[in-house]
Amino acid sequence: MAEPDEPRSAGPSRRVEIDKDAVRRDLMKLVLTIVELLRQLMERQAIRRVDQGDLTEDQEEDLGNALMHLQDAMDELTEQFDLTPEDLNLDLGPLGPLLPRDR
């Protein structure tokens, strides 16, 4: 009988086949989901600051340009990895979707 600490022999070793492209795409999906969440939070904060009058006109313009460039980069990356905005909205089960669906 084998000792409890010894691994059991399951016969011939089995290799797990990993689709490198799928792993790369899924990793990019996770990264882009996090970036999209942060982008949406930054956008909401920017709108609050503009509404409160905390920013100068130049700051508002710079902020708007930065958010537009970030959105353009997100669009390029999602297209490059054949992802849609819906792909980035993780389902958190009973909590619902990660990202608001108002986009």
Residue 103: predicted pLDDT: 47
Higher pLDDT, 100 or 54: 54
Task: Delimit the domains of the chain by residue range.
Answer: 21-81
27-67: per-residue pLDDT in tens?
A: 999 999 999 999 889 999 999 999 999 899 999 999 999 99
Give the chain as a 3 state SS string.
CCCCCCCCCCCCCCCCCCCHHHHHHHHHHHHHHHHHHHHHHHHHHHHHHHHHCCCCHHHHHHHHHHHHHHHHHHHHHHHHCCCCHHHHCCECHHHCECCCCCC
Higher pLDDT, 100 or 40: 40
Residue 96: predicted pLDDT: 81
Burial of residue 88, with CB atoms counted within 10 A of its CB: 0-12 exposed, 13-18 middle, 19 or more buried:
buried
71-90: per-residue pLDDT in tens?
A: 999 999 999 989 988 888 88
Identify the residue whose tokens are 């920013």: 55
**10 pLDDT higher than 60:** no
